[in-house]
Chain A
């Protein structure tokens, strides 16, 4: 038995190894990696569960006899509209009526892996993968993050649609006994072009499922698109206007219980004992108090309110490794110490920055500045939660998670039940922003269910627990030096950053095998080392802070603070050079038409060159991130001393080919507001080891009244698509602070602005 199982496993791996070695390189052969392996056939390697009646043509497409099309989209819907945009890609090639499509979220199974996220290589089967890429591509990483969904899906999901269509055509041509070339697919039917007879996909799906498509069909060209590139209305929105959309917290059943989580009060501490269990057990509705092996306590009660009240009344003892409790003063001191020491890694080194500084001529200007950024919380509007029941040796779970494969692994660990016996139902996510890629709340939900088998338990964080037990955007200090030559050009730029390593810290939790050392981390300097500016002497390096604060992926990750540092300093350089900040940037992207076009378009839509009102000021910032270019102009009105009305944001994005212009526009609006919220108010601080902020009164959000009008222009560029969920966030803060400089002459080198005495009406 055991042996057989082992053999099966081996069989799988040897087949994979064959595919891996079977060479994509050079031969245009249609053996793919990751999801591609699964495209051309109705495969047995996925469950197809909950995809309804009918027959599967591959892991993504099932067609029922009455011509209903069910598509599997294994990406988390957290506001970006992926259940629509990915479906658009499939539908484009499948040739079906948009109205006939239903989208579901499948189990975390191999075909649905996000190959681009794991390999950082576009999953184009004609691009050669090296061995490491192939191995990575087979890790089932079913995850939504890093603005990768469309990049990953662009080719693969169109091929999924196209191969299914070809299988349907094969079935029809066999049935009619005519050549395939006499058949065409349209609106869910295959049409016999000789006789105009029609066979519905539903009628063909059973026989079509027997076919195997052994070569990838040709995809449509852009000019032939009917669905892709159109502002199709989102399929998740109807349920979101009448309260029926089910988020994690909305999973309800009779007799279920609620486990309120209580973390240690101090960051980096674990709860080691509960001191008033008897008293807590006497509180109304309380069923059980659990001290988990993870150093967190759970109070299980019959409703959320009672559970949260009781967990607040817990008296606990908490301990750490003996190090001093964290304070913001300590973090500041350490970051400032590290930024002045030798960096641990230099990721960009062009020309000779050191030489330009030591041989500075009289005609050149050297400027130096130190920037800081605070720690930030995600503050998803739906606090962390997960619902789990263990029954008859099986686990069923309902989780709003960005990475179903991670949730799967973690639940297996914390419940002690095999993955095969675990079902993961991904609900809508009430905000993700990177926070919901973390395992913590899933692990605790597993522990809660294990404590009371047979009962469905919803494990919940109160808002306060959520704010104080986040995986934060790390605070950072960055020292920049720049030289402007005698002609007013940027001759030299160097940046040294001090920061905790998000990549190490977060991956240790999410995928421990993949966690790099801080030195080897690739993303720490993003926003500085991956920008388009041509500067002859250019260096970027960083040092590493190790403290027991959990830091994590926060919308746009390193770009979020580095973009503020770099784009503010570029602005400083422009002003030192006496150049217009937009023209200064333009001069550094010569020969890069996508950037020059973005800047020129932005100048046009923001009326950059005309200034009419003496109280209105503008600032600009541009960043490359997640394979997209976004440039923004903030337009602000001075209404008092240090008081402004942010009137307009102008935003231009080049994200290559467009799948759904309206969701791209929405993500630009959303990303800007996310960046603005942080710039205006965002700061997490520590006092005596505990986080000071707890809820929206002291961790405020931008509201409707203060939100500027946002004008978005999407460039029409026939290039592979880039991401859109994150790239609008990084330029938002520097565009604003660069505008404030124009208005006040004060250079903003730290955030949030509220702390510097600025207010916004």
Chain B
């Protein structure tokens, strides 16, 4: 496989890398860029530990060849959420509900939840069932569900306050 120079847009920054076209984004993030928030769990799009958001869609970065990503595409990783020093509403809710145990799946869970709430401001339990298909070996699922409901409430609250200004 040929090695190409590529430009990626990660968390709003342009990044230059060299890699095989078929190298999964996961390993570009982790081993080339040393952005380790995104995790390796299975490598076959089963567990969701490697979830990132690409142009508003949750993707399994372990199964996304970096050569398939255009430089115009916006890649968002867990590192982007508190980039301005402020935790996102999802992260706040995660702390409030003390969701993580070992924590290994949590970046992926939080990215999936973040996009879910962007797509659907008031997800029902069924919506959460459908969107949150990540594996948590520690079994934090009920707290994930509760935290998503809390985050939804808080985001909507903020939006209401802002709208009324």
Contact = CB atoms under 8 A, between A and B. Distances in A.
B165 interface: no
A697 B137 contact: no
A666 interface: yes
A242 B91 contact: yes
A301 B107 CA distance: 27
Interface string B100-113: 11111111001000
A379 B32 contact: no
A381 B105 contact: yes
Sorting the interface of chain B by its residue count into under 10, 10 to 19, 20 to 34 or 35 or more gives: 35 or more
A670 B138 contact: yes
Given A428-B102, A662-B98, A381 B137 contact: yes
A71 interface: no
Given A79-B103, A430-B104, A432-B102, A303 B129 contact: no
B120 interface: no
B34 to A, nearest CB: 4
Contacts of B106: 240-241
B31 A258 contact: yes
Given A242-B91, A382-B41, A431-B137, A704 B144 contact: yes
A696 B42 contact: yes
Contact of B138 (A79, A252, A383): A79
A759 B51 CA distance: 28
Interface string B16-48: 000010011001001110101111111110110
A694 B14 CA distance: 37
Given A243-B107, A258-B31, A304-B30, A249 B36 contact: yes
Interface string A598-626: 00000000000000000000000000000
A703 B135 contact: yes
Interface stretch (B67-75, B76-84, B156-164): B76-84
A383 B50 CA distance: 13
B72 to A, nearest CB: 25
A701 B141 CA distance: 12
B145 to A, nearest CB: 7
A673 interface: yes
Contact of B136 (A250, A304, A381): A381
Contacts, number: 179
B113 to A, nearest CB: 11
Nearest to B47: A696
Contacts of A695: 42-44, 46
Pick the most buried of A383, A431, A433: most chain B CB atoms within 10 A of its CB: A431
B56 interface: no
Contact of A673 (B44, B133, B141): B141
Interface string B106-150: 110010000000000000000011101111111111111100000
Interface residues of A, number: 61
Interface stretch (A10-18, A231-239, A410-418, A471-479): A231-239
Contacts of B15: none
A238 B106 CA distance: 11
B137 A701 contact: yes
Given A304-B31, A381-B41, A704-B144, A80 B136 contact: no
Contact of B103 (A284, A428, A432, A701): A428
A710 interface: yes
Contact of A242 (B20, B81, B105, B128): B81
Nearest to A256: B31
Contact of B137 (A234, A380, A707): A380
Given A284-B3, A696-B46, A705-B129, A673 B139 contact: yes
A720 interface: no
Contact of B43 (A246, A431, A432, A462): A462
A697 B46 CA distance: 7
The interface residues of chain B, by DSSP majority, are classed as loop
A463 B100 contact: no
A78 interface: yes
B82 to A, nearest CB: 5
B37 A670 contact: no
A741 to B, nearest CB: 25
A430 B145 CA distance: 21
A669 interface: yes
Contact of A431 (B40, B81, B138, B145): B138
A260 to B, nearest CB: 12
Contact of B40 (A304, A662, A704): A304
Contacts of B82: 242
A672 interface: yes
Contacts of A240: 100, 103, 106
The CB with the most chain B CB atoms within 10 A, among A79, A246, A381, A710, is that of A381
Nearest to A671: B139
Contacts of B152: none
Interface string A228-271: 00000110111111111111011010000010000000000000
A78 B31 CA distance: 24
Given A249-B40, A669-B143, A696-B42, A234 B24 contact: no
A238 B99 CA distance: 11
Nearest to A701: B135
A707 B40 contact: no
B23 A666 contact: no
B98 A670 contact: no
B133 A704 contact: yes
Interface of A: 77-81, 233-234, 236-247, 249-250, 252, 258, 284, 303-305, 308, 379-383, 428-433, 462-463, 662, 666, 669-674, 677, 695-697, 701-705, 707, 709-710
User: Which 7 pairs across A and B sit closest by C-beta, in order of nearness?
Assistant: A243-B37, A673-B139, A79-B101, A430-B104, A240-B103, A79-B102, A243-B78
16 contacts: A237-B95, A237-B98, A238-B95, A241-B91, A243-B36, A243-B37, A249-B39, A284-B20, A382-B39, A429-B102, A669-B143, A695-B43, A697-B46, A702-B141, A704-B141, A707-B142
Given A381-B136, A707-B139, 13 more contacts: A237-B100, A243-B77, A245-B103, A249-B40, A380-B104, A381-B104, A382-B104, A429-B102, A430-B39, A696-B44, A701-B135, A702-B139, A705-B130
